[in-house]
């Protein structure tokens, strides 16, 4: 499988990259990953040397959506064969981005422009991380933006679109998110109480979300697939 990966230095994206490189499922010579980002993801030297043929990194400022789209369009030749899937782990918060506009640029504009470029270049599958509360008509700007980008991606018409919908993400980030840090201890206490149809609202480790995404790669069912990481642990 040939993968184009965006957001490989974030909480979920970094776990996903390491799991891809170490999983037996992904150890064949015809597999390769093209990682696009501003910073090269940290991969243990021994692992990188052993799998050097499987991973390529292209440095680009991901806030430039036109440049990112151009690079995705060129990945077919860089991977020496057609890419199979675009995986987008991009995401920020309004506070971290600095404004609603800057947040929407990452979580809507950049995600959508990357998807359009992938679709136009012949990539038939996409997987991206949304949110449990994404709704295009939500009164909350964060949830509304997530819901609107979901709908925009659905409208593109990928053969398979996997929408990963975690609740509160927990785990160590390079850039600490205050809301997550304050909420995580409370949610960990509440998790055992969230059962049945409420299980999907449990806080979930970034590593578990990555494991869920690895399993979802094996799912060849077509259409729009909503995936809740808590169903996998």
Token pair of 163, please? 């929408």
The residue-averaged pLDDT of 115-133 equals 93
Task: Look at the alpha carbons of 17, 21, 24, 30 in this order and tell me if their dihedral is positive or negative.
Answer: positive
CA atoms within 13 A on the CB side of 89: 24
Range of the domain at 131: 2-232
pLDDT of 139 above 50: yes
What integer is the mean pLDDT of 141-160?
A: 97
pLDDT at 75 over 80: no
Please give the pLDDT value at position 80.
Answer: 47
pTM as predicted: 0.86
Phi, psi of 51 (to 5 degrees): -120, 25
Is-contact 153 224, C-beta < 8 A? no
Contact between residue 76 and residue 119 where contact means Cβ atoms under 8 Å apart: no
- The mean pLDDT of 138-158, rounded to a whole number, is 96
Q: How many domains does the chain divide into?
A: 1
Q: Contact, 232 vs 208, CB < 8 A? A: yes
Q: Is the pLDDT of residue 51 over 60?
A: no
pLDDT(76) > 60: no
Per-residue pLDDT, 69? 77
Q: Count Cβ atoms below 10 Å from residue 172 Cβ, excluding itself.
A: 8
What local confidence, expressed as pLDDT, does residue 81 receive?
53
Q: What is the mean pLDDT of residues 179-189?
A: 62
**Calpha distance 158→151 (Å, rounded):** 12
Helix 11-22 × helix 206-217 angle, to 10°: 50
21-38 mean pLDDT: 72
Using pLDDT thresholds of 50, 70 and 90, give the confidence band for residue 201. Answer: confident
Confidence (pLDDT) at 61? 74
- 52: domain CATH number is 3.40.50.720
CA distance 40 to 200: 32
Q: Do the Cβ atoms of 20 and 26 come closer than 8 Å?
A: yes
Pick 132 or 77 by higher pLDDT: 132
Range of lowest pLDDT (51-65, 115-129, 149-163, 205-219): 51-65
The whole-number pLDDT of residue 2 equals 83
């Amino acid at each position: 499988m040939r993968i184009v990966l965006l957001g490989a230095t974030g909480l979920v994206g970094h776990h996903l990259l390491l799991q891809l490189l170490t999983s037996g499922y992904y150890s064949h010579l015809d597999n390769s990953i093209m990682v696009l980002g501003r910073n090269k993801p940290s991969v243990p030297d021994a692992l990188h040397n052993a799998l050097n043929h499987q991973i390529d990194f292209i440095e680009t400022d991901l806030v430039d959506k036109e440049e990112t789209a151009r690079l995705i369009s060129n990945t077919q030749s860089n991977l020496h064969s057609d890419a199979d899937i675009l995986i987008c782990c991009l995401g920020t918060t309004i506070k971290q981005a600095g404004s609603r506009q800057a947040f929407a640029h990452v979580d809507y504009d950049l995600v959508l422009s990357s998807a359009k470029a992938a679709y136009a270049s012949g990539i038939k599958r996409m997987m991206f991380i949304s949110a449990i509360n994404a709704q295009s008509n939500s009164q909350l700007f964060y949830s509304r933006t997530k819901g609107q980008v979901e709908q925009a991606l659905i409208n593109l018409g990928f053969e398979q679109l996997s929408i990963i919908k975690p609740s509160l993400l927990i785990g160590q980030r390079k850039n600490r998110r205050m809301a997550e840090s304050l909420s995580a201890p409370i949610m960990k206490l509440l998790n055992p109480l969230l059962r049945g149809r409420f299980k999907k609202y449990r806080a979930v480790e970034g590593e578990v979300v990555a494991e869920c995404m690895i399993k979802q790669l094996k799912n060849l069912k077509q259409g729009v697939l909503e995936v809740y990481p808590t169903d996998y642990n």
